[in-house]
């Protein structure tokens, strides 16, 4: 049976470390501040944003949510971003995605001050992934690394296969594994024989958004399996990996829920603290 990589416990340890670090920063007169811009009233986005605001405050940081109507103009959204860029008290700025269709997401992400870009989605930071040393890695990618490192999974020389190439998870995760000297294969929806690749993985990261995509025959014995998928099937939350069968063959596996998910918000806080340090110390 695989070792279950407990995301909740790892996230709790990250938060505990952060609370201490933030207390020390406050003694030096630095209180990190996170601003989240939320456009529209999508229930899932609103819920994520509330948990970000709550955790930031719980850890002793300042947090502010700017709520804009679903029909806000792109010009007005860009103006709000400019105001936050110019506000010296703001260390970290995040625009919750997805944005409404009438707004050019790329233009909005490029408007965020790269030094406050806590998601790591600004083109300048994306360029820095390619150099292996961005200011921050995107939160989910950073969470995957935190799980691997805190679970003592070696990366250098390992064969890592990433399924998915999204800008939010798949692509930055492949870059991060490469930066840590893994041999990386990036698979995606057009990959011809997915199984042929996934079976070679010492570390298999699945971020495709497709329930049951990876079954027991797709996994090498003893592999470390990181399941980033969050799918609702018959009212139940499941990942992209068929946990019940793969758990018997893998060496370690993250569950859904309770795996990568809890790390994502925790890493947003860690990224916020890092940007505050870089800007102010
Ligand atoms: N929506 C889903 N995931 C993310 C994320 O990582 N950052 C932002 N800003 N929005 C998201």
Tens of pLDDT along 109-138? 999 999 999 999 999 999 999 898 899 999
Residue to probe by mutation, ligand 1, list 119, 120, 121, 265, most atoms within 8 Å of CB: 119
Tens of pLDDT along 145-170? 999 999 999 999 999 999 999 999 99
Task: Please give the annotated binding residues for NADP(+), written as ranges.
Answer: 164-166, 230
Q: Is the ipTM of this complex over 0.90?
A: yes
Residues 6+ apart with CB under 8 A from 257: 230, 237
Distance CA 275, CA 34 (A): 10
Tens of pLDDT along 47-93? 999 999 999 999 999 999 999 999 999 999 999 999 999 999 999 99
Residues 6+ apart with CB under 8 A from 259: 5, 7, 147, 226, 227, 239, 253
DSSP 32: -
**pLDDT score at 132:** 85
Q: Is 94 in the pocket of ligand 1 (CB under 6 A)?
A: yes
pTM above 0.90, yes or no: yes
Closest atom of ligand 1 to 45 CA is 1
**pLDDT score at 265:** 97
**CA 165 to centroid of ligand 1, rounded, Å:** 15
Distance CA 243, CA 1 (A): 11
Closest atom of ligand 1 to 119 CA is 7
- At 269, the pLDDT band (50, 70, 90 cuts) reads very high
Give 39-48 contacts, CB < 8 A, sequence gap 24+: 39/68, 39/69, 39/70, 39/72, 39/77, 39/95, 39/96, 39/99, 39/100, 39/103, 40/68, 40/69, 40/70, 40/100, 41/70, 42/98, 45/96, 45/97, 45/98, 48/96, 48/265
* β-strand partners of 204: 161, 225
Percentage of the chain with pLDDT > 90?
A: 99
Other residues' Cβ atoms within 10 Å of the Cβ of residue 103:
19
Residues 6+ apart with CB under 8 A from 186: 162, 165, 170, 171, 174
Q: Is 95 in the pocket of ligand 1 (CB under 6 A)?
A: yes
Other residues' Cβ atoms within 10 Å of the Cβ of residue 113:
18
Q: Strands across the sheet with 62-68, in order?
A: 62-68, 33-39, 92-95
Distance CA 112, CA 77 (A): 11
pLDDT at 195 > cutoff 90: yes
**CA 97 to centroid of ligand 1, rounded, Å:** 5
Which residues are annotated as catalytic? 52, 96, 119
* β-strand partners of 62: 33
Could you tell me the domains of the chain? 29-118 (3.40.50.10860), 139-260 (3.40.50.720)
Residue to probe by mutation, ligand 1, list 122, 168, 261, most atoms within 8 Å of CB: 168
Distance CA 135, CA 10 (A): 22
């Amino acid at each position: 049976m695989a070792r279950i990589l407990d995301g909740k416990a790892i996230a709790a340890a990250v938060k505990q470390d952060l609370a201490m670090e933030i207390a020390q920063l406050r003694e030096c007169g630095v209180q990190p501040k996170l601003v989240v811009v939320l456009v529209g009233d999508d229930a899932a986005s609103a819920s994520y944003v509330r948990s970000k605001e709550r955790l930031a405050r719980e850890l002793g940081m300042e947090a502010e949510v700017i709520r804009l109507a679903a029909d806000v103009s792109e010009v007005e959204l860009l103006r709000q971003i400019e105001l936050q860029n110019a506000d010296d008290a703001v260390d970290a700025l995040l625009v919750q995605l997805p944005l409404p269709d009438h707004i050019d997401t790329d233009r909005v992400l490029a408007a965020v001050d790269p030094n406050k870009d806590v998601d790591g989605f600004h083109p300048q930071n994306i360029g820095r992934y390619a150099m292996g040393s961005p200011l921050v890695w995107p939160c989910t990618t950073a969470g995957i690394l935190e799980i691997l490192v805190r679970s003592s999974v070696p990366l250098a020389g390992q064969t890592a296969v990433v399924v998915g190439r999204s800008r939010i998870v798949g692509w930055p995760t492949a870059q991060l594994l490469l930066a840590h000297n893994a041999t990386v294969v990036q698979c995606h929806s057009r990959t011809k024989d997915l199984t042929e690749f996934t079976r070679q993985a010492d570390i298999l990261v699945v971020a495709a958004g497709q329930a049951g995509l990876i079954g027991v025959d797709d996994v090498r014995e003893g592999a470390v399996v990181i399941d980033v998928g969050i799918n609702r099937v018959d009212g139940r939350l499941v990942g992209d990996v068929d946990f019940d069968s793969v758990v018997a063959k893998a060496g370690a596996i993250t569950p859904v829920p309770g795996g990568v998910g809890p790390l994502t918000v925790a890493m947003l806080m860690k990224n916020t603290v890092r940007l505050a340090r870089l800007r102010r110390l």
